[in-house]
A = this chain, B = another copy of it.
Amino acid sequence: MNQQKIIELINQKKYVEIKKELSDMNEVDVAEILDPLDPNTTLLIFRMLPKDLAVDVFSNFSIDQQREIINAITDKELTHILDEIFFDDMIDMIEEMPANIVNKILKNSTQDQRILINQFLKYPIDSAGSIMTIEYVELRQKMTVKEALQHIKETGLNKETVYTCYVTNQNRILEGIVSLRTLVIADEDESIYDLMERDLIYVNTHDDQETVAAIFKKYGFIALPVVDKEHRLTGIITVDDIIDVMEQEATEDFQKMAAMAPSEEAYLDTSVFSLAKHRITWLLILMVGAALTGGIITRFEYVLSSMTILTAFIPMLMDTGGNSGSQSSTLIIRGLATGEVTLKDKWKVLWKEFRISVLVGLCLGLANFLKNMYIDKVGIEVAITVSITLMATVMMAKMIGGVLPLIAKKLKLDPAIMAGPLITTIVDSLALVLYFTIASLFLHI
């Protein structure tokens, strides 16, 4: 049944049918249908859902809808949600809620839950600790496969994943990992001790989420254990959360590379004031940079006034320089972000960019020369001046675009700031200095 039909049923208030249809659907789809309805209708239908589905649907609601629902439901209903919701979803929710809602949540939590919530809220933003959850399957070395499977059968419904199980000792120290695949394939009297993998790949609670994402990408895991300083298992991170992290990190890089302060909020949900604030700082910095370029023009005014046609080529030289440099810096920044390029490759990168810049510079210089001669019909001296400047600008821009992200990385700055806008500003100034110097030489000004 498609969404349209269900919305029709809702408009016709055919609640028995609605309940039947929604009960068989994926929780993400149910949330998508209910989220935009008016709060009373959403609450009414939400309360009709089977209890387990209701909690899953709740996790997929927008923050605004979650707030409406927590406000409206009874303490008993809230306690049920808090008992069943995955811990990472609860933490995400608490971080976004106003104080009165957080109070209602804490009032309906157990003492143990409150202690854990406090502990989780303290993990640094974007750390492994801040995205992990606590619903994992814990096994012991001395268990048999049969006992392990029985344990999963009894507890597995409430785990974020049961496909990777974690073997710990009585001090919660992580000793091994065993997949459900291994358990299902093994004979039932084999012991976990014999089956578990000891070559552990894990992260620490304070590791950055980008590091975590890189490990998922490298190994293709569906879950990863998170340990604290004492090597005690404190949580797990599942691959679905990492997909969100990857998307968020890419978005932040896009923002930084377009000279904006990064923001985790969705565009349509961010206020005009906040969006403007994120953009103004860099624009001001780059304006100052561009003023230097203007200063160069002022200083070489005499060149332009003795040969006014030269002014007409300034935009082309500046733009092409900026674009050439941005191309190189974008590839290097992205390569550094995906791990495809590392600082070790710096000479390889520079040598490559140098050869590319020669090729690209020659092509563009030649194209420009022909255009200058046969379309613009300027004198050959001017055509040579502009074309040589163009070649030199492209080469310089590509080298700068290639090297600055590497320098940023070396200095432990974010390479993403060395992108188009900053490169353009730097290259603009240098391109004009080149232009006026070459013009002075060739045109004897």
Once the chains bind, are B293 and A319 in contact (CB under 8 Å)? yes
Minimum Cβ distance to chain B for residue A369 (Å): 12
CA–CA, A412 to B426, complex, Å? 35
Any chain B CB within 8 A of the CB of A16? no
Measured between beta carbons, the chain B residues less than 8 angstroms from A430 are: none
A252-276 interface bits toward B, Cβ cutoff 8 Å, 1 = contact, 0 = none: 0111011110000011100011011
Measured between beta carbons, the chain B residues less than 8 angstroms from A364 are: 280, 283-284, 287
Q: Which one of A72-80, A96-104, A228-236, A333-341 contacts B?
A: A333-341
Q: Which one of A37-45, A61-69, A151-159 contacts B?
A: A151-159
CA–CA, A118 to B341, complex, Å? 35
CA–CA, A428 to B279, complex, Å? 19
Main SS class of interface, A: helix
CA–CA, A61 to B79, complex, Å? 51
Counting chain A residues whose Cβ lies within 8 A of the other chain, the interface size class is 35 or more
Once the chains bind, are B283 and A312 in contact (CB under 8 Å)? no
CA–CA, A289 to B320, complex, Å? 10
Q: Which one of A6-14, A120-128, A212-220 contacts B?
A: A212-220
Q: Which one of A180-188, A202-210, A434-442 contacts B?
A: A180-188
- Give which listed residue, B185, B340, B367, contacts A266 with CB less than 8 A: B340
Once the chains bind, are A315 and B428 in contact (CB under 8 Å)? yes
Minimum Cβ distance to chain B for residue A63 (Å): 15
Any chain B CB within 8 A of the CB of A295? yes
- Give which listed residue, B217, B297, B312, B331, contacts A247 with CB less than 8 A: B217
